[in-house]
Structure 1
């Protein structure tokens, strides 16, 4: 059995599979969001969010939620979902009760939820994490 953690490329492939599993109405708008997979959150993000421990940040959405966008908005850059591999792997190891693909999908759904402006009920209907 291979116990090596997935590479960044393999991790991204799992994240893209989670995006592909979104309900059809959300797949197209999700494709407009840049997906970045990094080992660790960049220092400038940790500083902006006032987070001291990089293990505390598994993912991040940067952008304007679709429910708040206006044709008058002048974006500073593309909407972006960040996934941070090492904090997700640490959570996966600590939990020990969930498949890595499921944890990645959980983080992906929650970050895209920010983009879509979903309520907690919307998230729960798509990401049945508690089951």
Structure 2
């Protein structure tokens, strides 16, 4: 390996919360219509890890096992217009779990962040985890 490559890596820091957020914003902005418009009210934030209460509620033992979380009421339950006083639907991405996954797989960080974000946005549209797994399997089988 050339010295220039080693020097580049010795100077590189892990992507920050802001870096992950920038990737998430780019993924949101690249959603095709009508999905982009229908998810315009969904807010997105990035945290290091999920809170212990969240992990406990979901029955998840390790914070590295949760890369993202949708919080809110999906469109299929409440319609496209939130009720008065209802907080906007919200997606949280968990930086450390995402970086751990990225380090162990052969995907770009942008692809991992996009996948997690789109998965969580899917909950906004009313898809279950099983629904999304089936859609992903179908897309993979069709070569998309």
Q: Same fold (TM over 0.5)?
A: yes
Does residue 80 of the first structure (1) align with residue 90 of the second (2)? yes
1:120 aligns with 2:120: no
Deviation readout 1:71-128 (Å, 9 max, x if unpaired)? 7956652211010000000000011x1101001000011000110124438954xx86
Q: Secondary structure at the match of 1:92?
A: helix
Question: 2:109 matched to which residue of 1?
Answer: 100
| Aligned-CA RMSD value | 2.6
Corresponding position: 1:39 with 2:39: no
Q: Distance in 1 between matches of 2:95 and 2:82?
A: 35
Asked if the contact 2:50/2:66 (under 8 Å) is kept, the reply is yes
Normalising by structure 2, what TM-score?
0.76
Moved more, 66-75 or 107-116: 66-75
Which structure's relative contact order is higher, taking Cα pairs within 8 Å and 6+ residues apart?
1
5+ long unaligned stretches in structure 1: none
- Residue equivalent to 2:100: 90
TM-score, normalised to structure 1, is 0.83
Return the index of the structure with the highest Cα Rg. 2
| Contact 2:67-2:95 within 8 A present in 1 as well | yes
Give, in whole Å, the separation in 1 of the partners of 2:61 and 2:85.
28
Instruction: Work out the CA distance in 2 between the residues paired with 1:9 and 1:74.
Output: 31
Following TM superposition, the consecutive aligned residue runs of length 4 or more in structure 1 with deviations greater than 3 angstroms are 70-76, 118-124
- SS of residue matched to 1:60: strand
Q: For 2:69, which of 60, 73, 76 is the aligned residue?
A: 60
Q: How many residues align?
A: 128
> What residue ranges of structure 2 are gaps of 5+ in the alignment?
1-7
Larger % of helix: which?
A: 2
